[in-house]
Amino acid sequence: MRVVAFVGRRLLLVALVMAIVSVLIFGVVQILPGDVAVMILGTSATPEDLAALRVKLGLDRPAPLRYLDWIGGTVRGDWGTSLLYQVPVRPLVLERLGKSAVLAILALAVAVPLAIGLGVVSALRRNRFLDQAVGLVTLVAVSLPEFISGTVLILVLAFRFPIFPPSSLIDPRVSLWSAAPSLVLPTLTLVLALLAHMTRMTRASMIEVLEKPYIRAARLKGLRLRLVILRHALRNALLPTVGIVAINVGFLIGGIVVVESVFAYPGLGRLMVDAVNHRDVPVIQMAALLIAVTYALANLAADLFYAYLDPRIRY
């Protein structure tokens, strides 16, 4: 019962933050200087055309009313029509969200176990050769923006050694499964970025745990190192790792936006970039809101998992 109340309270908090975020998204897109109608039609448009477009977009009405219209429509399931593609926004963004989710889940599934393993091994071999090698490689990987690592991967694994296709422009008629080879390079790019961040963080938290008195006590009472790591250190070092994964969901979302552009992958990020470039306001707003909700839910899931893992946290 207390669990239900705890989860309910957290969900309420997420809803509250999302309400503020929706105001933020709306405000940033619609109230910042810059006239959407001029952006769409160009500066050479006649005043009549501009006025007509403003009426069509509802821009002649006061901003608070427009905000309420938008939120009301969103809640009812009427997400508006894309200005660029002239299709309803809802099926468009939901389909793209699914495509992006495939990439994100693949990347996390590969990166999380690898990062924990590498982080733990580096922490155990602290300042030895392996640790320094991993440290150097992850430092370089952290410093590479995804569009550079992606480009380098294309150069090497698609052109120099033609193993994987360079683009993920998937024919919508074929199943995602048969398009699997074209998912390899984008996933690899994301894994590289995630791995670097998460390995560094896991190493730091593992080192912190290894210096705790109870680890020394376990060693002193004669337990074998392997057992100390498995039974005592790893368990406690994994707690922050849950938080680390949650932090990296933010990196991951930014990375996906860039990676989808590099590989022409038809996901939500690329849709968002195209929408921003073409001032497709209804798509921008919904895509941003969806991404924000996904981000918030990922953080919530991490919090709940954290509370479940750590018996000290009482609801």
Partner 1 sequence: MSRSVDAAAEIAPGRGALAAIRRGAGLARAVLAPSPPAMAGAALLAIHVGLAVFGPALAPYQYAQFNILHTLEAPSREFLAGTDQYGRDQLSRVMWGARSTLLLATASTLLGVSLGVLVGMLGAFYRGLVDEILMRVVDALMALPALLLAMLLLTTVGANPVYVALGIAVVFMPRSARVVRGVALSLAVSEFIDAARARGEGGLYIIFCEMLPNAWAPIIVEVTIRFAYAILLATSLGFLGLGAQPPAPDWGLMINEALPFLAQAPWLAILPAAAISTAVVGANLLGDALREALALGRVGEAP
Residue 153 binds partner 1, judged by CB under 8 A = no
Residue from 6, 7, 36, 69 binding partner 1 (CB under 8 A): 36
Residue 159 binds partner 1, judged by CB under 8 A = yes
For residue 51, the minimal CB distance to partner 1 (Å) is 19
Residue from 57, 93, 106, 154 binding partner 1 (CB under 8 A): 154
CB 108 within 8 A of CB 94: no
- Our CB check for partner 1 shows the closer of 218 and 291 to be 291
Contact pattern for partner 1 over residues 290 through 309, marking x by CB under 8 A? -xx--xx-------------
Contact pattern for partner 1 over residues 172 through 211, marking x by CB under 8 A? ----------------------------xx-xxx------
CB 152 within 8 A of CB 231: no
Residue 238 binds partner 1, judged by CB under 8 A = no
For residue 44, the minimal CB distance to partner 1 (Å) is 16
Residue 254 binds partner 1, judged by CB under 8 A = yes
Residue 75 binds partner 1, judged by CB under 8 A = no
